Every structure is written in structure tokens, then in C-alpha cells.
């Protein structure tokens, strides 16, 4: 999470949407940068609205803070998690996807409860406010240029994002049955993502 005090802008780091690259490029400009531990780096919209927005508004005596985040196409988002957890340096064998097919990973994600290797949450749940205003702007990860243009205008500087924390390559084919199951279980994620094409 990054907070830009003068611009009254807060960026929430949705997991697997380039947040490490964004933090690398912008951390020096931010008034507050929460990068560790992951529970703070990846502060949800709900936690921001409950704990952080009230504090920022009280401290700044302003109620026009802008909250922004990114969302990735849901199938591709899971593909990034699957590839990320296949790395050789994955230290927890219960979370490793090495030697596992993407189809098995997605079926694990669709299960209830989810096995440890597929217990990565869901973007819609991360981005949904349970109280308060919620996000002012939500950008597609696949349209990063639009997000960078927004940041450049808001922060008044040119931004170049580095390539960091990139998941290794890997096959992400799904059977038709698993594809259909994913669209059923992740229906809220797909609905939210589709609303972004018109913004």
C-alpha cells in the first residue's frame, strides 16, 4: 500500500497485479509505504475503509482522498499464482504447485475448503468494501498504460515501471469442464472485471 499525502491518493496492492513494480517505482514519492509483512502490503479495501481512511481524513482534515487499485483478468490472475508457486525457491511444500497441472490448481481453488496450494483468496473479495465508500478508481492490470497515465497526471511526474517479481513461465491450459467450473465459482470476479471495460 502506498499513500501520497499531498495528492490525497492511496494505492492498494491487489496481489499479483504488478504492485511490487509499482512500489519500486513510486515508493520514494510516497509519504507512507507498507511493503512488509504481506498482510499490511496487501491491505484490503475493507480494512482501508475501516481503519485507514478515517485516520487519513482526520489527520488531513480532508475527505476527498482518492482510493485506487488494479484488477487482473480472473483466469490470468490464477495463472500467475499457479506459476508463482511453482518456483524452485517455494519453501512451503504444502503451497508448492511444482509438478501440478494448472487444471488441478484451479480445481483446488474452486474447492471448499481450498487446499493450501490454492488458498490465494479472490480479487472481488479483496476489492469489495463492506462499509464506507470503497474504491474511487479500479483499473485493469492488462491496461497498465491507463493506470500509469493516471498516476503521472496525479503525481506530476513521468513513471517507468521495472519488471520485478515476475512469475516463471508455465502452461495454463484448462479442460472445458474446469473452465466452466471456474466461471461458476468466480462469477463475482468475472462480473466485476467486465464492468471495467467501460471505464
Report pLDDT for 181: 98
Report pLDDT for 171: 92
Report pLDDT for 75: 98
Report pLDDT for 88: 86
Q: β-pairing, 9-11 with 66-71?
A: parallel
pLDDT 10s digits, 176-193: 999 999 999 999 999 999
The structure's pTM equals 0.94
At 66, is the secondary structure helix, strand, or coil? strand
Per-residue pLDDT band for 69 (boundaries 50, 70, 90) equals very high
**Sheet of 32-33, strands arranged across:** 32-33, 2-4, 9-11, 66-71, 137-140
pLDDT 10s digits, 124-145: 999 999 988 999 999 999 999 9
Class of domain 2-198: alpha beta
Phi, psi of 63 (to 5 degrees): -115, 20
At 61, is the secondary structure helix, strand, or coil? coil
User: What are the extents of the domains in the chain?
Assistant: 2-198
pLDDT 10s digits, 41-64: 999 999 999 999 999 999 999 999
How many Cβ atoms sit within 10 Å of the Cβ of residue 134?
A: 17
Amino acid at each position: 500500500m502506498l499513500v501520497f499525502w499531498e495528492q490525497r491518493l492511496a494505492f492498494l496492492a491487489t496481489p499479483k497485479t504488478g504492485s511490487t513494480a509499482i512500489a519500486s517505482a513510486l515508493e520514494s514519492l510516497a509519504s507512507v509505504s507498507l511493503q512488509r509483512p504481506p498482510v499490511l502490503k496487501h491491505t484490503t479495501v475493507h480494512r482501508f475503509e475501516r481503519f485507514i481512511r478515517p485516520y487519513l481524513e482526520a489527520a488531513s482534515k480532508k475527505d476527498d482522498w482518492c482510493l485506487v487499485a488494479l484488477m487482473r483478468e480472473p483466469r490470468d490472475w490464477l495463472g500467475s499464482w499457479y506459476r508463482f508457486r511453482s518456483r524452485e525457491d517455494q519453501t512451503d511444500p504444502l503451497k508448492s504447485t511444482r509438478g501440478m497441472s494448472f487444471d488441478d490448481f484451479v480445481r483446488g481453488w474452486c474447492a471448499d475448503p481450498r487446499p493450501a496450494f490454492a488458498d490465494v483468496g479472490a480479487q472481488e473479495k479483496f476489492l469489495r468494501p463492506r462499509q464506507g465508500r470503497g474504491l474511487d478508481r479500479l483499473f485493469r492490470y492488462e491496461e497498465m498504460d491507463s493506470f500509469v497515465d493516471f498516476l503521472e497526471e496525479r503525481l506530476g511526474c513521468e513513471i517507468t515501471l521495472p519488471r520485478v517479481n515476475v512469475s516463471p513461465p508455465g502452461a495454463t491450459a484448462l479442460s472445458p469442464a474446469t473452465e466452466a467450473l471456474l466461471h461458476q465459482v468466480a462469477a463475482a470476479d468475472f462480473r466485476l472485471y467486465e464492468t471495467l471495460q467501460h471505464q
